[in-house]
Structure 1
Amino acid sequence: MQETSINKRSVMVLPIILLSYFLILLDNSIIFTGTVKIAQDLALNQAQLSWVSNAYSLTFGGLLLLGGRSGDLFGRRKMYNIGLVIFAISSLFVGLAGSPVAIIMARAFQGIGSAILAPTTLAILMDNFEGEERTKAVAAYGATAGIGSSVGLIIGGVLASQFSWRDGFFINVPISIIMFILAMLFIEEKDTIEGKIDIFGSITSVIGMIALVYSIVGESNNIIALVIAIVFIGLFIRQEAKTSSPIMPLSLFANKERLGAYIARFTFLGAMLALWFLTPQMMQNYLGYSPLTSGLAFFPLSITIFLSSLQVSRLTKKFGNGKLMVIGLTIVALGMFGLSLFNENSNYWIGIAIPMMIIGIGQGFSLSPLTASGIAHTTADEAGAASGVVNMVHQIGGSIGLSVVIAFSSAVTNPVSSFRLQMLIATIFIVISLLAAIFFVLPQSKKK
């Protein structure tokens, strides 16, 4: 009877979860392919344009731990709906923005909504699925992480070229209203855990994370920001070790499989965000592609992610989660290295499309195992916190990784040489992910 009820709920619960997560990823991707148009419409300089993305990343990454734990304490459906409302209102503000300050502030506000939605959706998934059903649901969630970002580049290119980049944000409003109604109808509110929000831990984590990202992406006072980050992250860890209601239980890191998955996901997203953010700019600025063409150029990546993701459940049964992760990351590393070989004599199909297809296959195999290992062996009381950590390393890893790639390649003025160096650095990130999977995740996976 329990399995039957789970299957009935899954008919609507899983689509709600996946569409919500897709919306979050979609908007970030629209920013990537729409950067040139946004800069033209709002007269943004390069620094202001980077903060359209960074403002979102800062609030999203900085508040994820708090957002994840809030679902444990106050109810996942309640927090999901609050996140939807914030996301819808902020999306409207982004679409209406008429100045650099307006769009940057709206994007920061949007990050708050995403910080609540992202971990809550994963925790709701864990509440509603067990056993093999959970494996399939996590596979779909991981596939959405890859497909959503790459398809978002295509949709963003279509909107920027044929309509307006603003439409990509306006459409969030009616969709969010529909999702709100569906959540009230189909998502059951689970029992909350006893406890209270760790105020000191929340404040120190937000300041520490924001300062850490700013120390890399900021244009001034970077050393001061880094010192602040170290101090506040240290205070945060100390607080989490002694409080009875941590927003990030340190026990989550005691398990080597989860620890390895967090490290691997951090560097993996650093590489992938560099790919998603920098490749459209290279194609528009060097190859002369329009936003539409540069978005459509990601189709080989999207289709191979989709096709390989369909095989994850079957391959997980055959190889195990850890081994499939290692296989996937190895394939991604090969594809990313292939992109780093792009030169002035390369055409799109050989220099970009084929490496993207290889990356897509590996990414489809990697993201679901990374998600599954990130929430492995957690109790119901830890579900929201673990989901928050998974999404935190996803978002912060992407933001910091992209910043590192840009920082190390900024002195190279030739666009092709710069892109080659950027993709080579991204390849190194993937290799680090692979090593984390081999030495932390794989041994634990073999013990099961």
Structure 2
Amino acid sequence: MVLTEVVDHQPDTRRWTALVLLCTANFMVILDSQIVILALPSIAADLGMTPAQAQWVLSANLLTFGGLLLLGGRAADLLGRRRMFMWGTALFLGVSVLSGVAWSTEVMLAARALHGVSAALMAPAALSILTTTFPEGAERNKALAGWSGIAGIGATAGLVIGGTLTASLGWQWVFLVNAPVALVMLLLSPPLLPESRDRRARPTYDVAGAVTITAALALVVYAVVEAPAAGWASVRTVGLFALAAAVAGLFVILERRSPEPLVPLRIFRSRSLTGGNLVTALMGMAAFGLSVTISQYAQQALGYSPLEFGLKQAVMPGMAFVGAYAGQAVVTRTGYRPVAAVCAALMGAGAFLLTRAPADGQYLRDLFLALLIFGAGLGAGTVAAAAAALSRVGERDAGLASGINTAALQIGGAIGVATVSTVIAVNATGTDPAGLTAGYQAGFGACVIFAAAGLVLTAAVRSRSRQPSGVPSE
């Protein structure tokens, strides 16, 4: 049977305008996850949260976001990519308002968990619309450069805006600021975004597959989030990982037997998809891990204010944006593998320079060059890895492939943060700047190892796609 999809091939002007809307969605998802960090102490104080409850303002969002990404991506393929994007955006609007008016700890935690659900619907749907709107090659690489570059800017903007809004208007506005943007996105989606979905799929739903893969991913994220406090070798952590592996094994068995699987296992035949996502995960580990480490080093060892740190570290996401656009052009000419390999090496080099940062470090002497190099590698590298992961994937699986790629970055980031947090705690020799810096240097060293592993795994990425039409079905 020939696959039939509804895909509106738009004029260039409309297509690139749609890209602005999709990148805005990615910006808002990243912004919202970062903007809360600097507002968290004020939120906890006003709502009377314990330290453990305050941590779950961040963890509840990460748990539902990471756990539901594959389900959200597949739902976009089956139910309509624009439709799921709009549902996610509407939920994002609602939970932003709910977070802003939250009157208790329970309401705040519920709202943050629902925010993760909205992001799990928005992000893979938006990325799959991008991949089905822009043909594989130069145009898609340019679109992915914008997608990746704006994410880095959103991370920095979140830190700067979060501190500014909390100090001037109150923590409620770090959430309420999302509402008008989400409303505009909803209004612009019908005229700008094409609708597409897999019309060949039967009107049946793989409930067992959805439950098991969501449970497996949620267990992994929960284990990673709790590991620094519980201990990586603790019975609790090992048990959670073992349970996640068992549930994932059950998921594979169910998918093999399902006539309409949530995740068709044939998609993993693509070496580009598998290799690209492994590299994406390791780059996420290095990027998120380094961001957490440099934030703590700058503020606790060097004494930067949150706003001062946000402005000074802006060179990294700024270079990530530049690197993303430079990298997409090189990817188009040379293929994915060379760019991913060079960028992993650049990320490792930037992290290595930071392992030598002293307790009395100076911005220009000890931080600037390292952040510049790391940012350039991150921008171009994530474009190359994402382009590889999304190549050789048919349009019917675009949402699923987008969900896998987003999950690889987010779960890799969660593992990176948890790992460096443990490394810092173990290696810190005191609470003075010198003692803390010993821990931070070790944290930067862990990021070097992540980048080196990414460099090795670039061998699993095909240099070029030979079959842009998609992975053959079974």
**Which shows bigger deviation, 256-265 or 101-110?**
101-110
Post-superposition shift, 1:233? 1.2
2:340 to 310, 325, 331: 325
3-state SS, counterpart of residue 10 of structure 2:
helix
The residue that corresponds to 2:170 in the other structure is 164
Tell me the number of residue pairs that the alignment of Structure 1 and Structure 2 aligns.
446
% same residue: 29
1:287-326 residue pairs with structure 2 within 5 A? 287-326=302-341
Structure 2: segments with no counterpart, 5+ residues: 1-6, 231-235, 469-474
3-state SS, counterpart of residue 5 of structure 1:
coil
3-state SS, counterpart of residue 246 of structure 1:
coil
The superposition leaves residues 402-430 of structure 1 with CA deviations (integer Å, 9 ceiling, x where unpaired) of 11222233233432122111111112111
1:26 aligns with 2:4: no
Query: What is the distance in 1 between the residues matched to 2:364 and 2:172?
Result: 31
The residue that corresponds to 1:226 in the other structure is 241
Query: What is the distance in 1 between the residues matched to 2:392 and 2:153?
Result: 27
1:11-410 residue pairs with structure 2 within 5 A? 11-130=16-135, 131-193=137-199, 194-195=201-202, 196-218=204-226, 221-410=236-425
CA RMSD, Structure 1 to Structure 2 (Å)? 2.4
- Aligned 8 A contact 1:60 1:115 in 2: yes
25 and 212 in structure 1: CA distance in 2 versus 1, 3 angstrom threshold: same
1:418 to 439, 449, 452: 439
The residue that corresponds to 2:233 in the other structure is none
Output the amino acid matched with 1:25.
I
3-state SS, counterpart of residue 259 of structure 2:
coil
Query: What is the distance in 2 between the residues matched to 1:212 and 1:322?
Result: 29
**Which shows bigger deviation, 279-288 or 388-397?**
279-288
The superposition leaves residues 54-94 of structure 1 with CA deviations (integer Å, 9 ceiling, x where unpaired) of 21111001000000000111111111111011111112222
Post-superposition shift, 1:446? 9.7
Query: What is the distance in 1 between the residues matched to 2:401 and 2:249?
Result: 20
The residue that corresponds to 2:14 in the other structure is 9
- Aligned 8 A contact 2:63 2:218 in 1: yes
Output the amino acid matched with 2:24.
L
Post-superposition shift, 1:41? 4.2
The superposition leaves residues 195-232 of structure 1 with CA deviations (integer Å, 9 ceiling, x where unpaired) of 33311111111111111222232256333322321211
Query: What is the distance in 2 between the residues matched to 1:162 and 1:19?
Result: 25
**Which shows bigger deviation, 104-113 or 345-354?**
345-354
- Aligned 8 A contact 1:205 1:232 in 2: yes
Post-superposition shift, 1:181? 0.6
Query: What is the distance in 1 between the residues matched to 2:77 and 2:465?
Result: 27
- Aligned 8 A contact 1:339 1:423 in 2: yes
- Aligned 8 A contact 2:328 2:380 in 1: no
Structure 1: segments with no counterpart, 5+ residues: none
Query: What is the distance in 2 between the residues matched to 1:307 and 1:95?
Result: 34
The residue that corresponds to 2:471 in the other structure is none
Post-superposition shift, 1:42? 4.2
- Aligned 8 A contact 1:323 1:442 in 2: no
Post-superposition shift, 1:391? 0.7
Query: What is the distance in 2 between the residues matched to 1:191 and 1:446?
Result: 24
Post-superposition shift, 1:298? 1.8
364 and 396 in structure 1: CA distance in 2 versus 1, 3 angstrom threshold: same
283 and 346 in structure 1: CA distance in 2 versus 1, 3 angstrom threshold: closer
- Aligned 8 A contact 2:281 2:413 in 1: yes
Query: What is the distance in 1 between the residues matched to 2:79 and 2:130?
Result: 17
Output the amino acid matched with 2:175.
F
- Aligned 8 A contact 1:27 1:169 in 2: yes
- Aligned 8 A contact 2:348 2:448 in 1: yes
- Aligned 8 A contact 2:76 2:197 in 1: no
**Which shows bigger deviation, 253-262 or 283-292?**
283-292
Post-superposition shift, 1:445? 6.2
Post-superposition shift, 1:160? 3.4
TM-score (structure 1 length as normaliser): 0.93
Output the amino acid matched with 2:321.
F
The residue that corresponds to 1:435 in the other structure is 456
- Aligned 8 A contact 2:391 2:465 in 1: no
362 and 335 in structure 1: CA distance in 2 versus 1, 3 angstrom threshold: same
3-state SS, counterpart of residue 227 of structure 1:
helix
